[in-house]
Structure 1
């Protein structure tokens, strides 16, 4: 997604030796120029700030020859939509353009889940304490150059009952404040009751839950905010954890359920290919980039020699305030991929592109403000005249 949004450079706040290459998104490599005027201790290869560069970032504006309809695009899953960004542009009206079918190269990855005792378990997990599980991937060595996504669907969490809470506290507490006292009158039962009392006082447990995945230096979480947090609460039953790009998949992913209670979910693991085919698609997009782009305040200008018809796609969010001209002729802006500004090029040729942004409703707002101001002045003047007449 970073490449699609045109992000060419990434900064980290630690030196190269302290940053695992595993944490970097696909396509980003360490980049350092000795000739720029920064302090090497801070910005050098081992400085506190490290720069990474991608050679696979999409251009700001580019010609996409292949298109698909929004109706078909909206039927794709979130992962399929992400994969389609390199293949095609989704628009409302595809008439006169080259339509293609989405090529689904997603890889479904089989897995097994084991508890901390090595027992195979299902997708219904009863966690009586913060528990680690292992997601085992058989034949992991055959999977290469993939961005690994964990799709959690139909996630449900049952808060423990009062009786279950007492039982769990007996299980988890060794004594008062978590340790058995030497005093014969202060047993583990006292400690579990003390722990339970603190939990009730602190409004625990709530419907908050967290699923955390870890593989080496990589980690990701899916969490439900407590319903006690009314400003941020949203009922969550589905989500995706993206652990990033792997040159070779690990055979084991650690899964931690951080809150006690009963979890149930449907898990699907998919890999987004980031190999030679993806790289070729990105290079094709880069070759079709709009050239000589200049950005001034509210205007973007550029040129393109289009060898085919198609859609000029972008990473600029769609807004009705954009006014677009091709060779000084107005063209209608369209929404691309349900989110970004674009426009059609109906035939090959050389084009000068001008995109000017006008704040929607600005002129109407100025006009209404002016009329209101004039009406206010007129009313004040009328009141002044009436007051003068009353004085006479």
Structure 2
């Protein structure tokens, strides 16, 4: 049902059988709302820095599809297929594939001379951790010794919080930490940078100017949802239906109305803890989804999620927010902007990373190799998933393989010119080879003993 291996357009969707727990931990740390145990990355919610970090140079998009306008920042239209016009003249049914390209994709293997320690890294939010990928590299406390530490202020200053206010479609202001939805038709608006006595119109204009060409994230944390009981839901729907002033037969007959809602909730298994939090802008709609337990391997308890609303040349004035179910919601909500436009510090950092890529890069059947010349000590890092089965040699001397940025292979380097060789050995391969050989020897001995016994009996 969820298999996309045969999709006509390539994606960066990964499969758990091809990855490992480290990549999953990395995606959960950055609160990728598309994370699933069987598919850790998916499209990483089209987050620009994550796409750049993973080396995604091209993005394919089909028109008239959900979120087709939500293209990561700094990806420009490169090529298009021939447009197929709908035979009935409905432009919403036209078909065309568009290719977007970026010049900011990280190299597969590159050098960073500044590091983060786990102690400091844990202080960052999900958006700040994503932004930190261009600032430095996360390594263990031991590996960070004698290396320059990145100042956290350099990261936190690049992720700017935007003031917000949430109002109901009924006109009253609400709190995300005490949201009680009793009407299925009720919607909410997240007002972006609303003016107030503490935030003037002048302050708002200055903020909008500062955040032009930014990617906007909604950081949703500490999510809790408590559904109403079955009796409470039936009573609320009966009340809401009464106020709707509809005239259908089912709405006039209270007994039939109660049966209709009772039948629906029994089939749905109400009350259950599943829900959807939908956030809509002109770029499209993104959702944080808590599945039912019947989803088996796709089930997980959702407590946090960072929603990428897309890249905006100018901040949207509001965001539509719709919880899918009646009940009590409690979560913390923060809106942040990541300036990624032209002449931003991010673009300059990526260009520096590209200049420090591994040169003469070659892929072998069991690994990769290349050369690099550096003036300072630091870390050669990558976006190649880490495994204890990796081995590395620097100038033909065996070195320790590091786990960098929580999930990827790297190695510590001293200043100078180096030849680096990474090789991968399937875990247990040698042991399996020896055990198989031992098994063949024992089988041969058993066959010889059996043959000897048969000859002996025949004599």
Counterpart of 2:145 in structure 1 is 95
Matched, 1:68 2:116: yes
CA contact 1:70–1:337 (8 Å) conserved in 2: no
- 1:148 Cα deviation (Å)? 1.8
Distance 1:173 1:271, change over 3 A: same
Distance 1:163 1:197, change over 3 A: closer
- Tell me the distance in 2 between the aligned counterparts of 1:173 and 1:378: 82
- 1:9 Cα deviation (Å)? 1.0
- Tell me the distance in 1 between the aligned counterparts of 2:377 and 2:229: 64
Distance 1:380 1:171, change over 3 A: farther
For 1:283-294, list aligned pairs within 5 A: 283-294=351-362
Judge which range, 330-339 or 277-286, deviates more: 330-339
2:388 to 320, 325, 328: 320
- 1:56 Cα deviation (Å)? 0.6
CA contact 1:135–1:252 (8 Å) conserved in 2: yes
Counterpart of 2:285 in structure 1 is 219
Matched, 1:268 2:352: no
Distance 1:96 1:269, change over 3 A: same
- Tell me the distance in 2 between the aligned counterparts of 1:324 and 1:162: 60
Relative to its length, the structure with more helix (as a share) is 2
Matched, 1:199 2:246: no
2:172 to 102, 119, 142: 119
- 1:231 Cα deviation (Å)? 4.0
- Tell me the distance in 1 between the aligned counterparts of 2:68 and 2:278: 21
Matched, 1:24 2:71: yes
Relative to its length, the structure with more strand (as a share) is 1
- Tell me the distance in 2 between the aligned counterparts of 1:283 and 1:28: 15
Distance 1:235 1:130, change over 3 A: farther
- 1:54 Cα deviation (Å)? 0.8
Q: What per-residue deviation string (whole Å, max 9, x for no partner) do you get for residues 317-366 of structure 1?
A: 1122222223333322111111110111111x222332222212212211
- Tell me the distance in 2 between the aligned counterparts of 1:235 and 1:19: 26
Judge which range, 87-96 or 377-386, deviates more: 377-386
Judge which range, 247-256 or 131-140, deviates more: 131-140
CA contact 2:251–2:257 (8 Å) conserved in 1: no
SS at match of 2:345: helix
Counterpart of 2:35 in structure 1 is none
Structure with the greater alpha carbon radius of gyration: 1
Counterpart of 1:303 in structure 2 is 371
Matched, 1:86 2:134: yes
CA contact 1:22–1:246 (8 Å) conserved in 2: no
2:63 to 5, 11, 14: 14
Counterpart of 1:369 in structure 2 is 436
CA contact 2:66–2:284 (8 Å) conserved in 1: no
- Tell me the distance in 2 between the aligned counterparts of 1:263 and 1:355: 49
- 1:141 Cα deviation (Å)? 2.7
Judge which range, 330-339 or 248-257, deviates more: 330-339
Matched, 1:359 2:409: no
- Tell me the distance in 2 between the aligned counterparts of 1:225 and 1:268: 23
SS at match of 2:419: strand
Distance 1:134 1:32, change over 3 A: same
In structure 1, stretches of 5+ residues that fail to align are 34-38
- Tell me the distance in 2 between the aligned counterparts of 1:201 and 1:47: 41
- Tell me the distance in 1 between the aligned counterparts of 2:66 and 2:306: 25
Judge which range, 142-151 or 364-373, deviates more: 142-151
CA contact 2:229–2:271 (8 Å) conserved in 1: no
Matched, 1:136 2:191: yes
In structure 2, stretches of 5+ residues that fail to align are 1-49, 85-93, 195-203
Question: TM-score, normalized by length of structure 1?
Answer: 0.87
CA contact 1:130–1:259 (8 Å) conserved in 2: no
- Tell me the distance in 1 between the aligned counterparts of 2:99 and 2:224: 41
Counterpart of 1:147 in structure 2 is 215
Counterpart of 1:248 in structure 2 is 314
- CA RMSD, 1 decimal: 2.7
- Tell me the distance in 2 between the aligned counterparts of 1:32 and 1:231: 38
- Tell me the distance in 1 between the aligned counterparts of 2:127 and 2:420: 32
